[in-house]
Amino acid sequence: MSFWKTDESDESPLKFVSRKDEITGDEYDGQKRVEMSCGHAVDPGSLTAWCRSLMDQGHFQLHCPADVNGNKCGARWSYPEVRRCASLSGSEQREFEEKLALLAAKLYCDYKECPSCKSLVERKVLTTIRVHCTLCSYQQPVPYEFCWQCLRAWKGSGTPSDRCANEGCRDLDLDVLASCATKDLPHSEIHGCPSIRACPTCGLLIEHKDKCKYVSCTRCHVEFCFACLELAGICQKSKAGAWFQWCAKPIAPRQSRIPVWNRCQILPERDDSCVIL
């Protein structure tokens, strides 16, 4: 059964137009194309191929690539719209829905694939990167452990929190935080702020593009100050009447640790170190 199933009797009929394919740029060849909600015409085949390429690149939000005065349209398409306009077969629907669900889970939840059995797992103990895969250990004669950070079979002894003994094992997100450029935050007197921060609540890396110093995390939906890293409400209270110009606290230094979002407090106690989904 489709997780995105809708009552298609309530949907407006598809609109077909005699225009070029605005994904590939192919001119009109007598074959009508479907008009998407953003107004751009596409061929079902090129729509399917474009959305599949987005998913292969790790995107679960499907958007229009049509050229608009030198820029991409960027309008988001819902999966039900893509399913109808691309005329996805039953097997294609299953493929799309499985990939979209997996990609969304990886963004909004801290799930990773076991490098051995490819099962999707979530750590129970969020402070360690040494993970025991119960499924692999059940199927193999010896227990299987892997590194949550480099996604290779665990190497070394003990349970260090920053790396295993595999060559090159390190947190690449920390490298990004340490080397990102600095910027002056718009609409404020704040200068030299790191342009990328880890959300102080869940650890998602966020790049500041424009607007004010308050940003809302797309994963945990918590709003915080990009300069002092306090929650927005706390920052605003500490500097009443001058929220956007500066902070009561100095600019927070570059982060050397990434916060872990503890979403597992409500999970029942288990003997294994990961939850297999």
Taking only the tens place, the pLDDT of each residue in 134-154 is 889 888 888 899 999 899 999
Average pLDDT over residues 42-68: 91
Separation in Å, CA 151 to CA 16, 62, 85, 132, 146: 47, 28, 38, 12, 6
Q: Where along the chain do the CATH 3.30.40 domains lie?
A: 8-107
Q: Is the pLDDT of residue 220 over 70?
A: yes
92: CB partners within 8 A, 6+ apart: 48, 86
> Residues 169, 173, 174, 176: is their CA dihedral positive or negative?
positive
8-107 — its CATH code? 3.30.40
Q: What is the chain's mean pLDDT, rounded?
A: 83
Percent of the chain surpassing pLDDT 70: 86
For the entire predicted model, the pTM comes to: 0.56
Statement: residue 25 has pLDDT above 80:
yes
**Is it the case that residue 200 has pLDDT exceeding 70?**
yes
Q: Are 188 and 244 in contact (CB under 8 A)?
A: yes
Residue that wins the pLDDT comparison between 36 and 188: 36
pLDDT over 60 (residue 187): yes
